[in-house]
Amino acid sequence: MHDMSHATEHHAHTPPQGFIRNYVFSLDHKVIGKQYYGLGLVAVITGMVLSWIMRIHLVWPNFAIPGLGLLSKAGAPGGIVTPEYYLQLMTMHGTLMVFFVLTNVPFAGFGNYFLPIQIGAEDMAFPRFNMMSFWTTFVAFLVLIAAFFVGDGPPLAGWTSYAPLSAVGGAAGPGEATGQTLWAISIAIFCIGQLLGSLNFISTTLDLRTKGMTLWRMPLSTWSWFITSCIGLTAFAVLLPACILLILDRTAGTSFFIPSGLVINDKLQPHSGGSTLLWQHLFWFFGHPEVYIAIVPAMGIVSHILINSMRRPMLSHRVIIYSLLAIGFLSYMVYGHHMFVSGMNPFSSLAFSFPTLLITIPSTVLVLIWIGSLYGSKLRITTASLFALGFISMFVSGGVSGFFLAQPSLDIYLHATYFVVGHFHMVMGVAAIFGMFAGTYFWFPKMFGRMMNETLGRVHFWLTFVGTYCIFMPFHYLGLAANVRRYSAFVDDYLQPLLGVHKFITIAALFTGAVQLIFLYNLIHSRFRGALAPANPWEATSLEWTMPSPPPFDNFGGRHPVVYHDPYQYGIEGATNDYVMQDSPEEIKSVRDER
């Protein structure tokens, strides 16, 4: 008896008191999830504005961008971007998008909010670590943004920060002094935040599942967050040492990455013997898994949403999970395909090419399962399901060019061109963003207790869908026409005829960016004025829909859900509805019974 009374005391959490504990330093995974989402939103707007500036400069190099001169007098005198400043903007665009958007929102944002709920837990395993995880990420963001306002601005070495450019300091160019140091510190802090987050996700998934929630009964979204956290745990644990070594090269005079005899501006650098390839190895050992950190959660979210819209499970729940696991595992063996032109041994190119082609198999299996399951289904068209379909479209379109790039003989020609820019923007950038949009439209009612506007949502989808294809498909064409990337203006003769394509892309980018205002309006308006959301607006089966919208502080209101079924019992004949929720004790008598 004694034990029982204590059990209730312990498990019925009382909501925290006060603004700070509720909204700022909150231990609640739901608040932390929203904080990640909000930070991602700020980062994506910043990153998008940077891309606008770059696109405008590319095609109208003499156009003075209002206000930019105030931000950087040297980088953009009178608002006209210098070639160096173009690279600085590009670095910040890449860093913001990859780290603070593609990692933060689909994984840390949605994952934090929904992983504990989908497995029937009250919170993450280590709520304090969880809070620290967000706030370290936030500090990392501030440190990175600070680079805009110091000395000669942000770094110009790109989001990959290749050494020795990133390691030698101010002599290497504008932004390579304080800016690059801030970049390295910011990413190191970011790694710590992500490691804490991954630790939480893994422990929570393994330890806090409610009664009956076996691993196979976890929704695909939870599986994808779990697999992503395993990738993140090992990948960020490698980037952190790399950043530490880079910081030491920059500040303490060591020579980990700086080779002997390096002369910059007629000055011999006081370093010797460092290995520039070492940075690339360490960076891409993280960098390639990072691509999957961005895309795997989107795969899970999209599967979760599509099943709900199709009203039937995927052709195979387990094969999807096996494929995601295979992708996670292989993601470590392919990283060298980023380094085909780095000067490493050509035999290692072959060794990295093979697993790169291999990883297309689980990816193709996923696509085939999605399409095969969609075939013949009576799809309920919602904005969320449209974006889920859009995700598949982007993933396939961007993925196909991956087959070409996986082969060193072709990559050598295409590597430094816009072909690669088009490839990665579609397959991991925009695809993951579509996953985020799908997740937002699907889960917004649960997160905020109000419905989003469907009409605006559909307008947003179609304009964005067409717009992104207009932006990123021509990139492939430009790449095939040997249009080099990272150039701020195209003055060479052979590039002049391509300017028209660039103008088209810029206009498409401005248009597609502006379309996102519809989404922002929908998001903010629905948050306050949207129709009140019922507990289960999409007639879905997983645990997040068993609680009121928005969920109470302790998720299940002191109740401990018991799970009786696989996550996706849709299209059940003879059930009260056409679906049976995971925690419903209702017996399922159908052909598809408990596959």
Q: What is the binding site for another protein (CB under 8 A)?
A: 2-4, 6-7, 9-11, 125-126, 195, 198-199, 202-204, 206-211, 213-214, 233-234, 236-238, 240-242, 244-245, 248, 252-256, 259-260, 272-275, 277-278, 281-282, 285, 560
Q: What is the DSSP string of 268-292?
A: E-S--S--HHHHHHHHHHHHHHHHH
Nearer to another protein, 214 or 265 (CB): 214
With H, G, I as helix, E, B as strand and everything else as coil, classify residue 536: coil
Would you say 152 or 566 has its CB closer to another protein?
A: 566
How near is the Cβ of 507 to another protein at its closest, in Å? 44
CB of 582 to another protein, least distance (A): 15
Q: What's the rounded Cα separation, in Å, for the pair 366 and 501?
A: 33
Integer CA distances (angstroms), 17 to 20, 26, 27, 148, 449, in order: 8, 10, 12, 37, 21
Closest separation in Å from C-beta 291 to another protein: 18
* Strand, coil or helix: 263: strand
How many Å apart are CA 310 and CA 94, to the nearest integer?
A: 36
Distance CA 384, CA 319 (A): 24
CA distance 477 to 483: 9
Closer of 3 and 493 to another protein (Cβ): 3
Least gap, CB of 234 to another protein (angstroms): 5
Q: In the chain, count H helices and then E strands.
A: 18, 4
How many other CB atoms are found less than 10 A from the CB of residue 125?
A: 19
Q: Are strands 569-570 and 579-580 parallel, antiparallel or unpaired?
A: antiparallel
Give least dist CB 44 to another protein, A. Answer: 28
Closer CB to another protein, residue 71 or residue 233? 233
* Residue with Cβ nearer another protein (9 or 266): 9
First to last CA, the chain: 39
Give the integer Cα–Cα distance in Å for 537 and 541. 11
Task: Name the β-bridge partners of 570.
Answer: 579
Least distance to another protein, CB of residue 258, Å: 11
DSSP 8-state code for residue 564 = -
- Treating both helix axes as pointing N-terminal to C-terminal, what angle do 178-207 and 220-251 enclose, rounded to 10 degrees? 150
Cβ 479 vs Cβ 405: under 8 Å? no
Q: Does residue 426 contact residue 398 with C-beta atoms inside 8 Å?
A: yes
User: Least separation, in Å, of the C-beta of 355 and another protein?
Assistant: 19
**What's the token pair of residue 321?**
């999970």
Cβ closer to another protein: 9 or 493? Answer: 9
User: Smallest distance, Å, CB 251 to another protein?
Assistant: 10
DSSP 11-42: HSPPPPPSHIIIIIS---HHHHHHHHHHHHHH
Residue (279 or 441) nearer to another protein, CB? 279
Tell the smallest beta-carbon distance from residue 255 to another protein (Å): 6
Instruction: Quote the least distance from Cβ 567 to another protein, whole Å.
Output: 16
- Residue closer to another protein, measured from CB, 187 or 388: 187
Angle at 34 between CA 31 and CA 36, to 5 degrees: 110
Least separation, in Å, of the C-beta of 209 and another protein?
5
Distance CA 35, CA 28 (A): 11
Minimum CB distance to another protein smaller for 198 or for 397: 198
Query: 253 or 548, CB closer to another protein?
Result: 253
Considering the complex, state which of residue 235 and residue 505 has its C-beta at the smaller distance from another protein.
Answer: 235
**Smallest distance, another protein to C-beta of residue 192, A:** 10
Count of all residues that appear for the chain in the document = 595
Q: Residue 143's beta-bridge partner residues?
A: none
Which candidate, 55, 37, 39, places its Cα nearest to that of 511?
55
Give 285 or 538: the residue with its C-beta nearer to another protein: 285
